[in-house]
Every structure is written in C-alpha cells, then in structure tokens.
Amino acid sequence: MGIVADAALAQGGEVIGVIPHKLYNLELGHEGLTELHLVDGMHPRKKKMAELSDGFIALPGGWGTMEELAEVTTWTQLNDHMKPVGVLNVNGYYDHLLAWVSHALGEGFIRPHHKHLLQDSDTPEGLLHALQNAQIPLLSEWLNDGSL
C-alpha cells in the first residue's frame, strides 16, 4: 500500500490513510499522507474507510484484502452503502475468485440480482468505467423474490 500511496502522491494525488494504533505503533504507518486517521482496531478501520470512500477497489493482496473485499461487497448487497466494489485483475490474479462467483451463482448461493456486485477489469481505466456504471440492486428488489 505504501508504494501505491507514494506513486499517487508523486503525481499530486490526495492519499488518505486509516490505520489501527497497534500497526501504527509498529512503525507501519505512512507519515507523508495527505491525511492519516488512527483508529482503535480493524473493525473501526473498515468503518472509517467505508465512510470516506466513494467506492472500493481491491488490488492483488492476501487475507486482509479478501476479508475486506467480502465485507464491503456484502455491505453493498445489503444496501448498508450504495458504493460499487471491484477488483483490479492484474495478470489474472482474481481469475479464480471470479470463477468462484460464477460457480456460486450456478449453485444458487449468489442470487442472479447480485451477479455483478463485484466489478472487474484488468486495467485501471476499465475498472473505473465499470464502477461508474455499476448498478446496485435495491434490497427491496430481491429480498422476497423467492430465490435461494
């Protein structure tokens, strides 16, 4: 994340960070950000990031990335927020996740209304376009539709 932040700052971008005190105290915080929010843990971190965000993009990552991606996608599904979610599928990194989404849809674990909750593209431009055009189904449109 530091490399991405540094690149954005170098281009004159604004970078807002949210980090738990625990990680900041281990000297994992970035001191050169436009704005830095210190929070009490990972749950407050995710809440703060959701409040600050217009949408969510997951770059290739590990456990934390997958956990946060699943949570914000679920929040979108439940209309806890109406913000689009996407993955930047660099070099096919998310191909298996996208195949799982299709599999879960085919098995009936993801409703047809939610097939496109998770946008994807292999280019930043393509992903931004997909996020700008994302359609988020309203809870009232699918909750009692008889599926699942």
Kindly tell me if the per-residue pLDDT of 9 is higher than 60: yes
For residue 140, tell me if it sits in a domain: no
Kindly tell me if the per-residue pLDDT of 148 is higher than 80: no
pLDDT-based confidence at residue 2 (cuts at 50, 70, 90): confident
Kindly tell me if the per-residue pLDDT of 62 is higher than 80: yes
For residue 148, tell me if it sits in a domain: no
Instruction: Write the CA distances from 125 to 23, 31, 89, 94, 146, integer angstroms.
Output: 32, 29, 12, 17, 37
Average confidence (pLDDT) over 86-109: 97
pLDDT-based confidence at residue 146 (cuts at 50, 70, 90): low
Instruction: Write the CA distances from 102 to 85, 97, 115, 134, 143, integer angstroms.
Output: 16, 9, 8, 18, 20
For residue 6 the two structure tokens come to: 């540094």
Both 41 and 60 in one domain: the answer is no
Domain count, the chain: 2
Average confidence (pLDDT) over 125-131: 97
Question: 65-69, 85-89, 134-138, 140-144: which range is least confident on average?
Answer: 140-144
Both 62 and 123 in one domain: the answer is yes
Containing structural domain, residue 81: 56-132
Both 70 and 20 in one domain: the answer is no
Both 61 and 92 in one domain: the answer is yes
Q: What is the DSSP string of 55-87?
A: SEEEPS--HHHHHHHHHHHHHHHTTS----EEE
Residue 138 buriedness (CB in 10 A; 0-12 / 13-18 / 19+)? exposed
For residue 147, tell me if it sits in a domain: no
CATH, residue 124 = 3.40.50.450
Kindly tell me if the per-residue pLDDT of 116 is higher than 80: yes
For residue 127 the two structure tokens come to: 């992903």
For residue 145, tell me if it sits in a domain: no
- By C-alpha distance, which of 117, 119, 115 is closest to 147? 115
pLDDT-based confidence at residue 1 (cuts at 50, 70, 90): confident
Tens digits of per-residue pLDDT, 22-52?
988 886 777 888 999 999 999 999 999 999 9
Both 106 and 93 in one domain: the answer is yes
Both 116 and 60 in one domain: the answer is yes
Q: What is the pLDDT of residue 145?
A: 63
Give the C-alpha separation, 36 to 44, whole Å: 14
For residue 146, tell me if it sits in a domain: no
For residue 138, tell me if it sits in a domain: no
User: Amino acid letter at 2?
Assistant: G
For residue 89, tell me if it sits in a domain: yes
* Contact by Cβ (8 Å): 17, 35: yes
Both 36 and 92 in one domain: the answer is no
